[in-house]
Structure 1
């Protein structure tokens, strides 16, 4: 299968099929995370140390970062041609006809699963750079879209930096959730589309 054919494959799938694939991949990510954590963390306490309900950290780093990324993304969408943000229709199929509650659930699931794997497992085990590059790599559909690839890579390094500073998964999950939820709502309600 060639990268250029991905958009054609996506067009053949229904919105529900794309969403079901998303649920499946997030389930796989969670399963990998749980299995890896058994082998990579010497105790449950070490895993739980990554979870700190620190409202200041969550607001200062997580919430503000989420909104900063959204603002930058919106500015880029205004300034750049629409084709630069075309991901082959995946995000549109995921969000365009979902009820708000399901968009909220999808955004939470993706933020939770991906941050557990990339910050909780990969970052703590292999370091900041490896985890950030791996995060960008799983977004394979962006490889032929330089703006999207650079954007996801910078966001990944930003989330990784926040984790370096706070060592708190709740911070990165919050930022990731805000980004995905607001962008999902923008697609759903055709804002900037």
Structure 2
């Protein structure tokens, strides 16, 4: 059975539970690997820096750059190329703004802690970017979505490479997910 067939059988509430469950697993994995791979938590915590200029220049602005490119591609390309089998519509369409903030924040934090904070820090930029794309398994048979998620992964990974600041990548990731979630929510 295909993933989209399984998803279609889930209620919106069950889909939300599955999303929370998968993100919880990623969070637990990132915490476990952090304790295992870093000499001390101080080594890991040094990747969190509240430098407002970095957060804007390397977090928010790249996030909006990704959104603009995504929206342009959605406008130019036939809809079928950006069709994720309706999963994102199901996640965001009937959700409140507070719910969209919660999901976007949860996903941004858990994925960036694991992929930039642990994998990129310990195994490199290439490994983290490719694994990030592979975790988005539903895009593997959708070339435009796969290339898009690879681009986003490499771009956000590069922001981490430049700044060594997880808050930057969390903000960039959150910006993308939140704004696109809001667009899905209010799209006619």
Q: Is the 8 A contact 1:10 1:89 kept in 2?
A: no
**Match among 75, 78, 83 for residue 75 of structure 2:** 78
Paired position in structure 2 for 1:41: 38
In 1, Cα distance between the equivalents of 2:20 and 2:3?
Answer: 19
Q: Deviations over 1:128-156 (max 9, x none)?
A: 00000000000000011100000000100
2:22 matched to 1:18?
A: no
Q: How far off is 1:7 after superposition?
A: 1.8
Matches for 1:14-163 after TM superposition, within 5 Å? 14-163=11-160
CA RMSD of aligned residues (A): 0.8
Q: Give unpaired runs (5+ residues) of structure 1.
A: none
Q: Deviations over 1:29-82 (max 9, x none)?
A: 000011111111101110110000011111001000000000001100100111
TM-score normalised over the length of structure 2: 0.98
What is the distance in 2 between the residues matched to 1:148 and 1:12?
23
Distance in 1, matches of 2:132 and 2:85, equals 19
Runs of 4+ in 1 over 4 A off after TM superposition: none
* CA–CA distance in structure 1, aligned partners of residues 178 and 153 of structure 2: 17
CA–CA distance in 2 between the matches of 1:116 and 1:130? 15
2:179 is the alignment partner of 1:182? yes
> How does the TM-score come out when normalised to structure 1?
0.95
Q: Which moved more, 1:87-96 or 1:175-184?
A: 87-96
Aligned residue pair count? 188
CA contact (8 A) 1:50 1:168 kept: yes
